[in-house]
């Protein structure tokens, strides 16, 4: 029996305390504000939205900077429809390209354009710096450890099956 299970059962009867609720709200507010700050900064620095960045990151890390549409959707955990809309907009802006797939005529292969690759390269460093400044610099090593533990616990609570420590399914 895993630790999370024991906690879950033990807590199952209790009502949620107002302190716990306040922490939940603070979590939502604080992460929202961080996303807002970093998203705005990213846009100013590089003209890319967080969504653009996620797409370009996944493509950059892909073998040959090229992915099937549904693979890409799986990597960044988006609905296919959302991805299709967004790829349309990114294609119009010249960031990515969609070609017919050679092995499956239904499929599309998404790849980086020169422009897209360049924009992404230019965005990387300032974006990392912004994350460092606004987030990483604030916390002590102990706090990082505690946060990692908490996130592992939560992930494990939400999706009990998947090994919570695999680094593969992390993306921006």
**Total length of the chain:** 172
* Integer Cα distance of 95 and 49 in angstroms: 12
Where in 58-77 is the site for a second copy (CB under 8 A)?
77
User: From the list a second copy, DNA, none, which binds 120 (C-beta under 5 to 8 Å, kind-based)?
Assistant: none
* Number of H-type helices and E-type strands within the chain: 7, 3
- Using DSSP bridges, classify how beta strands 66-68 and 96-100 pair: parallel, antiparallel or unpaired: unpaired
Site for DNA (CB under 7 A): which residue of 38, 75, 87, 96? 87
Distance CA 41, CA 47 (A): 9
Instruction: Give the residue with the Cβ less far from a second copy, 20 or 104.
Output: 20
Window 8-37: residues binding a second copy (CB under 8 A)? 8, 11-12, 15-17, 19-31, 33-35, 37
E strand residue ranges, the chain: 66-68, 96-100, 108-112
Closer to a second copy by Cβ: residue 21 or 89 = 21
Helices 141-158 + 3-11 axis angle, to 10: 70
**Binding residues for a second copy (CB under 8 A):** 4, 7-8, 11-12, 15-17, 19-31, 33-35, 37, 77, 128-129, 131-132, 134-140, 143-144, 146-151, 153-158, 167, 170-172
Which residues lie near DNA (CB under 7 A)?
36, 40, 49, 51-52, 68-71, 73, 78-89, 98, 101, 104-109
């Amino acid at each position: 029996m895993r630790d999370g299970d024991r906690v879950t059962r033990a807590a199952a009867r209790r009502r949620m305390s107002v302190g716990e609720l306040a922490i939940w709200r603070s979590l939502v507010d604080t992460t929202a504000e961080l996303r807002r700050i970093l998203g705005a900064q990213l846009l100013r620095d590089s003209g890319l939205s967080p969504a653009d960045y996620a797409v370009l990151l996944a493509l950059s890390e892909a073998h040959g900077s090229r992915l099937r549409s549904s693979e890409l959707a799986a990597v960044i955990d988006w609905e296919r429809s959302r991805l299709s809309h967004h790829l349309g907009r990114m294609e119009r802006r010249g960031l990515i390209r969609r070609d017919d797939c050679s092995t499956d005529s239904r499929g599309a292969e998404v790849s980086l354009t020169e422009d897209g690759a360049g924009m992404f390269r230019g965005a990387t460093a300032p974006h990392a710096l912004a994350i460092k400044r606004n987030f990483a610099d604030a916390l002590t090593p102990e706090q990082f450890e505690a946060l990692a533990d908490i996130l592992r616990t939560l992930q494990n609570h939400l999706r009990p099956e998947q090994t919570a420590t695999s680094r593969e399914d992390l993306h921006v």
